[in-house]
Amino acid sequence: MREQLPFGLDDVKRWNGTYPTPFYVYDAEGIRNCVRELYDAFSWNEGFKEYFAVKATPTPGVLRLLASLGCGADCASIPELLLAECSGISGSSIILSSNETLPEEYRAAAKLGAIINLDDITQIEHMEAACGIPETVCCRYNPGQFSNTNGIMGHQYDSKFGMKPDQLLEAYAELRNKGVKHFGLHAMLSSCSLDENYYPNLARELFTLVLRIHKVLGIDIEFVDFSGGIGIPYRPEEKAIDMMKIGAAVHIVYDELLTANGLSVRIYTEMGRYITGPYGYLVTRVVGKKHIYKEYVGVDATACNLMRPAMYEAYHHIRVLGKETEPAEITVDVVGSLCENNDKFAVNRGLPLTDIGDYLVIEDAGAHGHSMGYNYNGKLRSAELLMETDGSVSCIRRAQTPEDYFSTLDVDTAFTAAKAESII
Ligand SMILES: *Cc1c(COP(=O)(O)O)cnc(C)c1O
Looking at residue 2, what is its pLDDT? 86
- 186 Cα nearest atom in ligand 1: 13
Per-residue pLDDT of the chain (424 residues; tens, 9 = 90+): 888 999 999 999 999 999 999 999 999 999 999 999 999 999 999 999 999 999 999 999 999 999 999 999 999 999 999 999 999 999 999 999 999 999 999 999 999 999 999 999 999 999 999 999 999 999 999 999 887 555 566 788 888 999 999 999 999 999 999 999 999 999 999 989 999 999 999 999 999 999 999 999 999 999 999 999 999 999 999 999 999 999 999 999 999 999 999 999 999 999 999 999 999 999 999 999 999 999 999 999 999 999 999 999 999 999 999 999 999 999 999 999 999 999 999 999 999 999 999 999 999 999 999 999 999 999 999 999 999 999 999 999 999 999 999 999 999 988 988 998 999 8
Residues in Cβ contact with 327 at an 8 Å cutoff, skipping those fewer than 6 apart? 352
Q: Which pLDDT tens digit goes with each residue over 248-274? A: 999 999 999 999 999 999 999 999 999
- 231 Cα nearest atom in ligand 1: 7
Among protein residues, the one with the nearest Cα to ligand 1's atom 7 is 229
What domains lie within the chain, and their CATH numbers? Answer: 26-277 (3.20.20.10), 278-420 (2.40.37.10)
Looking at residue 236, what is its pLDDT? 96
The CA 240 to ligand 1 mean position distance, Å, reads 18
The CA 205 to ligand 1 mean position distance, Å, reads 19
pTM for the complete prediction?
0.97
The CA 140 to ligand 1 mean position distance, Å, reads 13
- 271 Cα nearest atom in ligand 1: 9
The CA 401 to ligand 1 mean position distance, Å, reads 30
The torsion angles phi and psi of 152, rounded to 5 degrees, stand at -85, 130
The CA 269 to ligand 1 mean position distance, Å, reads 9
Report CA Rg, the chain: 23
The CA 74 to ligand 1 mean position distance, Å, reads 8
Mutate to test the pocket of ligand 1, among 116, 232, 243, 271 (most ligand atoms within 8 A of CB): 271
Q: Which pLDDT tens digit goes with each residue over 309-327? A: 999 999 999 999 999 999 9
- 367 Cα nearest atom in ligand 1: 8
The Cα–Cα gap between 307 and 89 comes to: 28
Looking at residue 157, what is its pLDDT? 86
Ligand 1: list residues with CB < 6 Å: 53, 55-56, 74, 97, 188, 191-192, 227-230, 270-274, 367
